Amino acid sequence: MAQSSWVGLAFILSGCFLSGEGVSPPKDRTVYFPVGLALDSGARHLFIVNSDFDLQYNAGTLESWDLDALRARLPVACKSDADCDGGNVCDCADAAVCSSQRTSGVPSNWCVAPGTPKPCPFSRELSASERQLYPGRCSSIDPLSATGGYRAIHQDSVEIGAFATDVIYRARPPSAPPDQPGRLFVPVRGDATLHWIDVDDDGNLYCGQSDPGADGACAHSHRRGDNPQAENTRGLAMLPEPFGIDASESGEWIMVSNQSSFATGLFHNAWAAGGGYGNGPTYQYTIAGLSAQPIGVVAVPRSRASIAVNEPELPEFLVGFRGAAQIDLLRVYPDADSSPPRPYAKAPNSSPILTNSNGGDSRGMAIDVSVRRRAEATCAARHGVSDDCASGVSACDFPSDYIDCVQQAAATPLDVLVTNRAPASLILGETRQVISDAVSYDLPTFAATFPLEFGAARVVTGEITNARGERERRAFSVSFDSRRIDIFDPARGRVEAGIITGRGPQAMAIDAEHALGYVAHFTDSYIGVVDLNQKHAETYGVMIAMIETPSAPRASK
């Protein structure tokens, strides 16, 4: 949902791409110019979309990693020997509580085997010069390796089109027909389509790659947006250069930005079982004539009050621009009464960005709904409403006291965060409810700005674990050019720490349950793992593992 420095060159390269020609992606490498990360429900699997940026191969890939297998190889933080098990001891400087025999160097504060400490049991320690390029203590772990009683981290892989830009995951609603429990959506610039890939509980990927003629790549039936006759009644195809993407919570509505066309595209996703155009996303509408190049797209979460009073769902998305100091609100109108339905979208309003000297170069955007969700959860607990009822998964009759409660909770503003490059900053706003005779909606207003390093790109929200073992919300602003991710505390209004990354951090995914962050390094093609637990004072905000061998771009070798 953001744009980084590599995009300009990709415009040039995209004209040279011929799908299906050339060498297939290698089977012995699972990360190659990664541009997007996504986690499934419960953070059991990490999905990595690789772009084939330098056209060395004839396709990009989508990878699935087993996170239980990955986490089993991460170092265990400790403060004393008592924190370690399996006969290990703590490698710390305090001899009174740690029996580590380290005689030189900096203690790792990780559990190690007794005797001569080796803080990197699955790899070696990096030299001081190596750490300048690859921050962290240990060299890379091979995701394909299954030695030493440990499962391989890599689970599955499938070929996709070249020049993918992002990936999002949505869980299948319980009301949908039985099928695979999750679905991934990947915008691909090489063939101007939206790929859709189903995922099972074990992280296996399904997109027709076994169909005749597919040759291990996602079948054409899993590439949507290029068949107007089959997908919509308007004769519309998705415009070139799809980039940013987000979907409603249910995964039913998807918005994709088309930066070179000054437009966004609307998809409707059907959760049917089986093949054909009755299942998966279909392109429905083009919102054209926008004020500048749209980049970031983020879905506005639906309030529980709207569900409780049975209001028709009109999904909303916020869109940021590369050349306009504003954020547009796009509203989807399903038009279900038509036969067949003819959904469309339009912009009820926009909000200016006035907190920067320019404000006209927005790259990433995120919405933090956690404060409102906590207020709504309190209402549900107080009045005995189940999660399935509150979220609209099940049709329920709601007590009037509950409806009053969630209507008050709906007034809780949503935090809207935008990374902007004019100048490099994180812009913080809140939604304000706008009510008129014709329409009501939540529109953000921006009132604060925080400086960032050069090359601000994406921003994601998630939770860290604080020193008391409690979860706290944070925003993570990724700066591609500066090799840095700033951790922003919205409750205290400050940047509390900076994560030093390798070259070209492009995407980040937050595993709140295990207090970990996963960082896709675009330039050198590997995934970094960051400690997000403040109880680990020495390693909070530090890269603690590197998965896949870094590989510099061919042009730099």
Q: What is the per-residue pLDDT across 268-301, written as a single tens digit (0 to 9) for each? A: 999 998 778 999 999 999 999 898 899 999 999 9
Tell me the DSSP string of 97-165: T------SS----BEE-SSS--S-TTS-BPPHHHHHHS-SSB--B-TT---TTPPPSEEEEEEE-SSB-
pLDDT of 435: 59
Task: Report if residue 248 sits inside a domain.
Answer: yes
Backbone torsion region of residue 55, taken as left when φ is above 0, otherwise alpha when ψ lies between -120 and 50, otherwise beta = left
Give per-residue pLDDT as tens, 27-49.
999 999 999 999 999 999 999 99
Question: Is residue 69 pLDDT above 60, yes or no?
Answer: yes
**Which tens digits make up the pLDDT trace of 228-263?**
999 999 999 999 999 999 999 999 999 999 999 999
Percent of the chain at pLDDT > 90 equals 76
Report the pLDDT value the prediction gives residue 76, as an integer from 0 to 100. Answer: 95
Q: How many domains does the chain have?
A: 1
Say which range, 146-150, 221-225, 297-301, 382-386, has the weakest mean pLDDT.
146-150
User: Does any domain span residue 51?
Assistant: yes
- pLDDT confidence of residue 334: 94
Q: What is the mean pLDDT of residues 191-217?
A: 94
pLDDT reading at 11 higher than 50: no
The pLDDT value given to residue 9: 40
**What is the reported pLDDT for 521?**
98
Alpha-carbon distance 189 to 178, whole Å? 31
For residues 134 and 127, the answer to whether their CB atoms sit within 8 Å is no
pLDDT of residue 436: 56
Residues in the chain, overall count: 557
Annotate 313-328 with DSSP letters as a single string. Answer: P--EEEEEESS-SEEE
Asked whether the predicted pLDDT for residue 89 surpasses 50, the reply is: yes
pLDDT value at residue 13: 41
Per-residue confidence band for 412, with pLDDT thresholds at 50, 70 and 90: very high
- Categorize the per-residue pLDDT at 181 as very low, low, confident or very high, splitting at 50, 70 and 90: very high
Task: Indicate if the pLDDT at residue 557 is higher than 90.
Answer: no
| pTM check: above 0.85 | yes
117 pLDDT more than 90: no
Q: Can you give the pLDDT at residue 5?
A: 44
Higher-confidence position of 94 and 50: 50
Position 61 in a domain: yes
pLDDT, tens digit (0-9, with 9 covering 90-100), for 90-102? 999 888 999 887 6
Position 438 scores a pLDDT of: 57
- pLDDT at residue 170 above 50? yes
- Does 280 fall in a domain? yes
Q: What domain range is 187 assigned to?
A: 1-65+152-289
Determine, yes or no, domain membership for 459.
Answer: no
Res. 460: pLDDT tops 70: yes
**Does position 356 have pLDDT exceeding 70, yes or no?**
yes
Within 384-430, residue ranges assigned H as helices are: 387-390, 400-409
Q: For residue 267, is pLDDT > 80?
A: yes
pLDDT in tens, 366-390: 999 999 999 999 999 999 999 999 9
pLDDT for 300 equals 95
Please provide the DSSP assignment of 540-553 as one string.
Answer: TT-EEEEES-----
**524, two tokens:** 């050198």
More confident residue, 18 or 221: 221
| Spatial separation of the C-alpha atoms in residues 397 and 403, rounded to whole Å | 10
Q: What is the pLDDT of residue 274?
A: 79
Mean pLDDT score of the chain, rounded to an integer?
91
pLDDT at 231: 96
Q: Look at residue 115 and tell me if it is in a domain.
A: no
pLDDT tens, position by position, 311-344: 888 999 999 999 999 999 999 999 988 888 999 9
Whether 528 is covered by a domain: the verdict is no
Q: How far apart are CA 393 and CA 396, in angstroms?
A: 9
pLDDT band at 104 (very low <50, low <70, confident <90, very high): low
Does 23 fall in a domain?
yes
